[in-house]
Structure 1
Amino acid sequence: MIPLIPSLFLHIIFIAVVVNGNNDTIYAILKDHGLPMGLLPKGITRFDFDNTGRFEVHLDQACNAQFESVLHYDMNVSGTLSYGKIGELSGISAQELFLWFQVKGVWVDVPSSGVIHFDVGLVYKQYPLSMFETPKDCMVVADSAFADSIRDGNLLAEAIAKRQSANLRYEIDQESLGRYQM
């Protein structure tokens, strides 16, 4: 009777390993869902994944990874996986010029196309799929530095808007002055 208990225990462990298969890392789960492993950076300390496709990954600190443009990863990144797609994504931002945009989703239409799409709200960015083949090193960035860069981007956008408004006001003043001089 006693040898039966250790044998039963070993069978349960074997079944758990077989059921989990090679999904022991979030990178393997991405690959199993037709997505490149490099969508998430190195340094993931813990992840959760459920049978609905919902996932959450945890990093020790917020960080930036350099691709064609810079991607910022918050300490927690979450979304919903389906084959070739991540929806309801939160925790990743992409830098374009001086501005940061929240990445809301990622998808691969046809893997043979070699293109991956990022939904950043107003537009969709396309990148070569090959850029995301392997997880990148992620440079730690203080949350205040990231907030400062967002603030700086907003200040730049505000300054451009003010300059355009001032130019328009100047043009209107010149037109009005020209009418009075006639």
Structure 2
Amino acid sequence: MPTTTCHHLLLFALLIFVLHLGASMKPATRSDPNGEVHGLLPAFGLPKGLLPDNVVRYSVSDDGKFKVKLSEPCYAQFSELVSFDKTIEGKITCGAVSDLSGIKVKKFFVLWFPIVRVDAGNGDGTILFDTGTFSETHPASEFQDIRPCKSMDAAAADE
């Protein structure tokens, strides 16, 4: 995605967010019963399905730092099993999330690796996931649908 397009999308998303919050200058926590946060992700060049279906509230500051609260910690199945903590934090920019915490991917059947960065900035229809130890690229289409998230107890029973 060209840089100017990213900047326009980012400005548009920030404008919508500011208008949505009203005149308040401090970051506000928004309840999310209608999945608003999933609608914000595409405005930043990211697929809406990066977050599971159990978001209950979120906040985004004007520098892009965000916090997402889920109803409970849970697992979602993508091409790999992904675990979500109850709180997910990071910094969102156009096409990328950095300083990410609260999301882990299961590899080699037993090891969990935290995902620290997500990048969709190269415009080739893929998403790069970085754990700090290794990175993998997956088709962005894998994350277009919002996935149901199973509770930790239900996911453990499935294994």
Asked if these proteins are the same fold (TM beyond 0.5), I'd say yes
What is the CA–CA distance in structure 2 between the aligned matches of 1:31 and 1:108, rounded to whole Å?
11
What is the CA–CA distance in structure 1 between the aligned matches of 2:61 and 2:147, rounded to whole Å?
25
Task: Please give the per-residue CA displacement for 1:47-104, whole angstroms capped at 9, x wherever unaligned.
Answer: 1111111111111111000001011000000110000000000000001122100000
Q: Which amino acid aligns with 2:73?
A: A
8 Å CA contact 2:105–2:114 kept in 1: the answer is: yes
* Map of 1:93 onto structure 2: 104
Query: Taking every aligned residue pair, what percent have the same amino acid on both sides?
Result: 31
8 Å CA contact 2:94–2:121 kept in 1: the answer is: no
8 Å CA contact 2:55–2:71 kept in 1: the answer is: yes
Q: Is 1:102 aligned with 2:117?
A: no
Taking the TM superposition and a 5 Å limit, the aligned residue runs for 1:32-51 are 32-51=43-62
* Map of 1:71 onto structure 2: 82
Normalized per residue, the structure richer in strand is: 2
Query: Of the two, which has the highest radius of gyration?
Result: 1
1:115 to 122, 126, 148: 126
Normalized per residue, the structure richer in helix is: 1
* Map of 1:135 onto structure 2: 146
Runs of 4+ deviating beyond 3 Å: none
Structure 2, unaligned runs of 5 or more: 1-15, 22-29
Shift of 1:35: 0.4
Shift of 1:30: 1.1
More contact order relative to length (CA 8 Å, sep ≥ 6) = 2
TM norm structure 1: 0.64
Shift of the 17–57 alpha-carbon distance from structure 1 to 2, 3 Å rule, reads: closer
Does the residue aligned with 1:55 lie in a helix, a strand or coil?
A: strand
Does the residue aligned with 1:38 lie in a helix, a strand or coil?
A: helix
Shift of 1:20: 2.3
Structure 1, unaligned runs of 5 or more: 1-15, 150-182
- The count of corresponding residues between Structure 1 and Structure 2 is 127
